[in-house]
Structure 1
Amino acid sequence: MAVVKAIAEVIDTDALQAMAHPMRLRILAALREPDSAAAVARGLGQPRQKVNYHVKELERAGLARRVGERRAGNLVESLYQATAATYVVSPRLAWVDRPRIDALAEQVALENLVSVGERLQQAAALLLDRAAFDGEKIASAAVETEVRFADAAQRKAFLAEYVSAIGPLLKKYGDSQGDSYRVVLAVHPDSKETS
């Protein structure tokens, strides 16, 4: 059988359009393991022809692929599988306008903030799958707070003091043995406020 990625980022409009149909999302969920369109149809309580059509559309968009065959009586059924266990839609898919593209290219810190957000979204989706499908208890935490800076100098001082304060912690635990955890600090203007 084909190797399935744990997660795939949807960055293509054809794939997004293919996923937009609720039936196709259910089919992708059913195709986490290889199966035929007929078996998926039975499981979903839908007509085989309808499910087969949607499977072909998912295959056309690169979200599912044919991975083999099996005999079912006198018939040979094609087996399909989702190309990933879970899919995350990239927000960049909607950012096709020149001003956003230019802003990301010109502002390295902002582009990094967007990239960190995407990686965090992907990590959360993978952890959710481990909890949902493997029954794993996920040791996780999220801390969010609001701070206010009078000016750029105060913001710079905060970041310097923050890095100085966590530096010893990072050094102490960064080289330790054991399970690896990712720690993220993101500093950005509150998106609800206007400047």
Structure 2
Amino acid sequence: MLEVEVIADPAAAVVALDPVRSRLLAELAEPASAAALAARVGIPRQKVNYHLRALESHQLVTVAGERRWGGLKERLLVATASSYVVSPRALGAAGTDPGRARDRLSASYLIAVAARAVQEVGDLWREARAKNKRLATLSLDATVRFRSAADRADFTRELSEAVTALVARYHDDTAPDGRAHRLMLAAYPLPRIEEDT
């Protein structure tokens, strides 16, 4: 089971976003039968089977095994990932694109850049898994509590200068076997719920 799967197919996104089906996906963190799921979620087994077939047809759940229950054989299904994210690719032309943003300091630009990362990394990771390879990535995540807006501005300036210097030192357009990497840095206020905890 993957930790996270990026859904790029529009039909799979529709299936996964259905409230009943998304609940079944959450319940299938561990293998379960349709009968067991029906008892847990309070839906008739026939309806659960209908939803499971839809999830299975889009590779959101997979067969984890079989077991005998009385004289019957029942399939055990499990979600293909612990969690799912929908790629902007699933929205086609309506998906977000950082190139359309006019204000690079706006929240909409930040959201578009983050969504592009979901789409690009999702596509690259799917391709790497198909080749049984790892995808080289780097993620930094930190929380900074600024004393003042002036400190935030100074931090932004110093960070920009440091990143610019590092990029200038390591970027090489002439490297024949080099591979370009996208670097994204973002900062936004921590949601109050996280700040309180």
TM-score range relative to shorter protein:
0.5 to 0.7
Which of residues 44, 48, 51 in structure 2 aligns to 1:54? 51
Deviation string, structure 1 residues 112-152 (Cα, Å, up to 9, x no partner)? 94477439x99xxxxxxxxxxxxxxxxx644599888xxxx
Give the 5 Å matches for 1:59-70.
59-70=56-67
CA distance in 2, matches of 1:115, 1:13: 15
Which of residues 18, 22, 45 in structure 2 aligns to 1:21? 18
TM-score scaled to structure 1, two decimals?
0.55
Given that 1:41 and 1:48 are in contact with CA atoms closer than 8 Å, whether structure 2 keeps it comes out as yes
Structure 2: tracts of 5 or more residues without a match: 101-108, 123-140, 168-182, 188-197
CA distance in 2, matches of 1:116, 1:36: 37
Given that 2:6 and 2:118 are in contact with CA atoms closer than 8 Å, whether structure 1 keeps it comes out as no
CA 1:164–1:64: 2 relative to 1, 3 Å: closer
CA distance in 1, matches of 2:76, 2:95: 42
Give the superposed CA RMSD: 4.1
Residue 28 of structure 2 corresponds to: 31
Secondary structure of the residue aligned to 1:29 is helix
TM-score scaled to structure 2, two decimals?
0.55
CA distance in 2, matches of 1:90, 1:74: 43
CA 1:117–1:70: 2 relative to 1, 3 Å: same
Residue 88 of structure 2 corresponds to: 91
Structure 1: tracts of 5 or more residues without a match: 105-109, 123-139, 149-154, 168-182, 188-195
CA distance in 1, matches of 2:24, 2:95: 36
Secondary structure of the residue aligned to 2:93 is coil
Residue 186 of structure 2 corresponds to: 186
Give the 5 Å matches for 1:19-168.
19-96=16-93, 100=97, 103=99, 113-114=113-114, 117-118=117-118, 141-143=142-144, 161-163=161-163
